[in-house]
Amino acid sequence: MVVGDFPIEVDTLVVGAGPGGYVAAIRAAQLGQKVTIADKGALGGVCLNVGCIPSKALIQAGHLAEQAHGNEEMGIKTENVSVDFSKVQEWKASVVNKLTSGVEGLLKGNKVDIVKGEVYFVDKNTAKIMDEKNSQTYTFNHCIIATGSTPIEIPNFKFSDRVLDSTGALNLKEIPKKMVVIGGGYIGTELGTAYANFGTEIVVLEGAKEILGGFEKQMSQVVKKRLKKKDVTIITEAMAKGVEESKDGVKVTYEVKGKEETVEADYVLVTVGRRPNTEDIGLEQVGIEKDERGLIKIDNQCRTNVDNIYAIGDIVAGPPLAHKASYEGKVAAEAISGEKAVIDYLSMPAVVFSDPELATVGYSEQEAKDAGFDVKAAKFPFAANGRALSLNDSDGFMKLITRKDDGLVIGAQIAGPNASDMISELGLAIEAGMTAEDIALTIHAHPTLGEITMEAAEVALGTPIHML
């Protein structure tokens, strides 16, 4: 790092190189800004290094391990299936490396200056970037803060070799025989399912009445049914109280229905949410406003109360989604360049890579009613789709939410295989202001899971072909 008495001047300083920060930096550079991006960690942030990408790699490996055991119903029998978990981890690391190297190439190709170090704000136009040895002052006209979030550590469960956060769970050197998962949200469900597919006995402790609380009960029930087939134990309305660690494992104490219980395992994975990384970076020096949860307040262009500083991603209100951060990064970069970009979350999808997958976009049926819409909910089952049956993976459904008066598509929910890919067509339909008739008139290839979207649209129109 260059060290000197004179500050380095840039148009835009981006703090954080995750999926929000690096996308913002590239978009700002494309718009003609001189950009510096700084991060104390690896390029790609949590998502690419210890979140979205490695978790999906592990989930895919788990699916293959499960499938390798064959399917007697389909007449396929296998013997002596083994998993070399060190090789799984090597492959996962190679996927991460390809993507992080790609991000570095994209930043350099767009002439973004990359600096490794911690950022501390001095005032609204000045920050210091520090590594272990040096400090350099930067002055900027604009700044985009994209510092992300960190797993929440709950009382009496201090992270250690046996008490894991999501990063620790992704980097285990062996497949555990048994694991307790505290928190049945999307992270706990995804990682719990991945290890269950590898043969780990999983016990989920969830404080609420249902797992996957952010999704409709109809959707989470499909996942619960499949988890039970994998011999996953789900204990709801359970409060984790404490843990005793030993050299070889843990004993977790929890309370359910007023009674204290214990469960022993090799590890306990704590996935109860994430907190924004807004402390210790000098925000108070600048006077940037935060809410009671530590989230930075922004307007519809991601601008904070300090007019030249913007904030995006997990440190602002809304779900901690990588694609949300990327979207906000583009809006902020364009706003800095004087464009009229504003945030609009209606067609923002949310996905859980559970088994089967869950995906939602726009309004749910209840949300639409609460917003005052008179809606129709059209549901089509995967069990009536030829491709789903041929995959032997026909649990689940698609639900399309349309306005009754004109058939406008305003929401969709999917529980089933490939839901993560299928939801994009419905996001486009909402963004483009399409109706159920527009979707029904679009010829979908046969036999595909995509036909389910067309079939659900036909249900909305009252003219279903493959459903009574």
Q: Is 120 annotated as a binding residue?
A: no
Answer yes or no: is 1 within a domain. Answer: no
Answer yes or no: is 136 within a domain. Answer: yes
303 shares its domain with 367: no
Answer yes or no: is 426 within a domain. Answer: yes
143 shares its domain with 167: no
Q: Is 183 annotated as a binding residue?
A: yes
Choose the final residue of a domain: 272, 288, 313.
272
> Considering its fold, how many domains does the chain have in total?
3
Q: Is 188 annotated as a binding residue?
A: yes
Say which CATH number the domain at 52 has: 3.50.50.60
Answer yes or no: is 156 within a domain. Answer: no
**Contact yes or no for 333/27 (Cβ under 8 A):** yes
Choose the final residue of a domain: 222, 246, 272.
272
Q: Is 217 annotated as a binding residue?
A: no
Answer yes or no: is 314 within a domain. Answer: yes
103 shares its domain with 232: no
172 shares its domain with 140: no
Q: Is 190 annotated as a binding residue?
A: yes
374 shares its domain with 414: yes
Q: How confident is the model at residue 2 (pLDDT cuts 50, 70, 90)?
A: very low
Average pLDDT score over the chain: 97
- pLDDT, tens only, 360-389: 999 999 999 999 999 999 999 999 999 999
Q: Is the pLDDT of residue 350 over 70?
A: yes
33 shares its domain with 143: yes
231 shares its domain with 178: yes
Say which CATH number the domain at 378 has: 3.30.390.30
Of the candidates 142, 444, 446, 466, the residue annotated as catalytic is 446
**Amino acid 4: pLDDT:** 52
25 shares its domain with 141: yes
124 shares its domain with 209: no
- Parent domain of 437: 356-461
- Give the residue-averaged pLDDT of 338-353: 97
- pLDDT, tens only, 97-115: 999 999 999 999 999 999 9
Q: Is 282 annotated as a binding residue?
A: no
Q: Is 187 annotated as a binding residue?
A: yes
Q: Is 168 annotated as a binding residue?
A: no
- Assigned token pair, 163: 């008490």
Q: How confident is the model at residue 6 (pLDDT cuts 50, 70, 90)?
A: confident
Active site residue 446: yes
**Amino acid 1: pLDDT:** 43
Choose the final residue of a domain: 289, 304, 336.
336
Answer yes or no: is 55 within a domain. Answer: yes
Q: Is 195 annotated as a binding residue?
A: no
- Give the residue-averaged pLDDT of 287-308: 97
- pLDDT, tens only, 384-438: 999 999 999 999 999 999 999 999 999 999 999 999 999 999 999 999 999 999 9
404 shares its domain with 311: no
**Amino acid 260: pLDDT:** 97
- pLDDT, tens only, 39-98: 999 999 999 999 999 999 999 999 999 999 999 999 999 999 999 999 999 999 999 999
- Give the residue-averaged pLDDT of 311-323: 97
289 shares its domain with 412: no
136 shares its domain with 207: no
Answer yes or no: is 157 within a domain. Answer: no
Q: How confident is the model at residue 5 (pLDDT cuts 50, 70, 90)?
A: low
Answer yes or no: is 139 within a domain. Answer: yes
